[in-house]
Chain A
Amino acid sequence: MRRETLINTVLTLGLLAVPLAAWAMDEPYTITLATKVVILALAGVGLNLALGLGGLVSLGHAMFFGIGGYAAGILASHAQSYDPIMEWPFLIEGTQSMPVIWLLAIVVSALVALATGALSLRTSGVYFIMITLAFGQMFYYFTISWPAYGGEDGLSIYVRDRFPGLNTLDPMHFFGLCFALLMLGLFIVARISRSGFGLALNAARQNEARVRAVGIEPYRLRLIAFVISGAITGLAGALYADLNRFVSPVMFSWQTSGEIMIFVILGGVARLFGPVAGAALFIILEEVLGGVSDYWHIYLGALLLIVVLFARGGLIGLLAGRNGGGGHD
Chain B
Amino acid sequence: MTESLLDIRGISKSFGALKASDDVSLDLKQGEIHALIGPNGAGKSTLIAQIAGSLRPDSGEVWLEGRNVTHHDTVARANAGLGRTFQISSLAMEDTVLQNAVLGALGARHRVPGVWRPVMRDSDLRATAIEALREVGLEEFAHFRTADLSHGQRRQLEVAVALTLRPHVFLMDEPMAGLGAEGSAILVEFLRNLKSRAPILLVEHDMDAVFQLADRISVLVYGRIIATGSPDEIRANREVREAYLGEEDEE
Q: Which residues of A contact B (CB under 8 A)?
A: 191-192, 194-200, 202-203, 206-207, 209-217, 220-221, 224, 228, 323, 325-326, 328-329
In the complex, whether B186 has a CB less than 8 A from a CB of chain A is: no
Known: A212-B75, A214-B78, A214-B161. A202 touches B116 (CB 8 A): no
The contact sample of 6 A-B pairs, CB cut-off 8 A, is A192-B116, A199-B103, A209-B54, A214-B165, A215-B107, A215-B165
Instruction: Assess the B119–A194 pair: CB atoms within 8 A.
Output: yes
Q: Are B95 and A206 in contact (CB under 8 A)?
A: yes
* Interface pairs A-B: 4 shortest CB-CB: A214-B107, A196-B113, A215-B78, A196-B119
Q: B230 in the interface, Cβ–Cβ < 8 Å?
A: no
- How far does the alpha carbon of A63 sit from the alpha carbon of B244 in the complex, in Å? 60
CA distance A216 to B102 in the complex (A): 13
Most buried by B among A197, A212, A215, A216: A215
Name the interface residues of B51-104: CB closer than 8 Å to any CB of A: 52, 54, 73-75, 78-79, 84, 86, 90-96, 99-100, 102-104
Chain B residues within 8 Å of A210, by CB: 90-92, 100, 103, 161
With A207-B91, A328-B119 as given contacts, are A212 and B74 in contact (CB-CB < 8 Å)?
yes
- A199's nearest neighbour on chain B, judged by CB, is B119
Whose C-beta in chain A lies nearest to the C-beta of B171?
A213
A197 contacts which of B84, B108, B115 (Cβ < 8 Å)? B115
B115 touches A198 (CB 8 A): yes
Residue in chain B with minimal CB distance to A225: B115
Size category of the B interface is 35 or more
A206 to B117, CA, bound (A): 22
Q: How far is the CA of A325 from the CA of B106 in the complex (A)?
A: 20
Given contacts A210-B90, A213-B90, contact A194 B54 (CB under 8 A): no
Known contacts A209-B54, A212-B74, A195 near B91 by CB under 8 Å = no
Q: Which of B73, B103, B125 contacts A211 (CB 8 A)?
A: B103
Distance, CA A323 to CA B99, complexed state (A): 14
A202 close to B92 (CB less than 8 A)? yes
Find the A residue at minimum CB distance from B76: A215
- The answer to whether B86 and A192 touch across the interface, beta carbons within 8 angstroms, is no
Nearest B-chain residue to A206, judged by Cβ: B92
Are A203 and B95 in contact, CB atoms less than 8 angstroms apart? Answer: yes
Task: Chain B residues near A326: list those with CB within 8 A.
Answer: 95
Residue of A206, A228, A328 near B96 (CB, 8 A) is A328
Tell me the minimal C-beta distance from B16 to chain A in angstroms.
24
Task: Give A196 Cβ to nearest chain B Cβ, in Å.
Answer: 3
Indicate whether A207 sits within 8 Å of B106 (C-beta atoms), given known contacts A199-B99, A216-B75, A220-B112.
no
Q: Does B114 contact A (CB under 8 A)?
A: yes
Decide if B117 touches A195 in the complex (CB within 8 Å): yes
B110/A215 in contact, CB under 8 A? yes
CB distance from B4 to the nearest CB of A (A): 22
How far in angstroms is the closest Cβ of chain A from B71? 16
B122 at the interface (CB under 8 A from A): yes
Chain A residues contacting B74 (CB-CB under 8 Å) are 209, 212-213
Contacts of B145 in A (CB 8 A): 323
Q: Assess whether B90 is in contact with A200, with CB atoms less than 8 Å apart.
A: no
